[in-house]
Amino acid sequence: MQVKTSLFAILLSLPLVAQAENFSYRNIDLAFFPSAEIDTNGGDVDGSGLQLRGSIPVFDNFFAIAEFESLDLDFDVDVTRFMVGGGGHWPINNKADVIVRAGVVNYQVDVGNFDDDDTGLFIGARIRGVITPQLELEGGVEHNMVEVAGIDNDTYLIGEARYLFTRQWSAGVLLTLGGDTNVFGVQARLNF
């Protein structure tokens, strides 16, 4: 009886093990934002930017993350964001994971001779799913607890879509809306 119970438990866990192989949490990606906007106390400022981020597994379903984002906006406004933290992922079914992330975020805003910066926390949750073997979607919400140059404790909706050319290479689009910062961009990702 004990052997049958163990065998049944192993068979039930197979979809969870298979799910872990579908998504890589060991990656690096580069994004270009042709459209970036910051809502400040003095109005909207538009421009473009870049983002570099990476993720690496540290234990079972947990991973470490690091992100760097630089926005070059009108009126000589430069915004830099650094994020370092960790997260976890758990399968919902054989085609989707729920992801939770948290850590430290630092914003630096430079406008001519004026500069402002603040360090705080971020927390977020996402769903990552496979639509077809080549198409992956990811979306969720993230909250940044910082107050810098009119960017005040904001909550964002985040969406990403990636087309997988191979298991290692993908490209797609990403969108962040809400709060004081809105960006739309294209990304390339390497899973390693």
Residue 166, token pair as written in the block: 């191979």
Residue 141: what pLDDT? 97
Q: Model pTM greater than 0.85?
A: no
Domain with residue 131: its CATH number is 2.40.160.20
pLDDT tens digits for 147-181?
887 778 889 999 999 999 999 999 999 999 988 88
Q: Which domain holds residue 6?
A: 2-191
Q: Hey, what amino acid is at 133? A: P
Domain count, the chain: 1
pLDDT tens digits for 13-44?
444 433 444 689 999 999 999 999 988 666 78
pLDDT tens digits for 89-121?
999 999 999 999 999 999 999 988 889 999 999
pLDDT tens digits for 46-102?
999 999 999 999 998 999 999 999 999 998 889 999 999 999 999 999 999 999 999
Residue 26: what pLDDT? 97
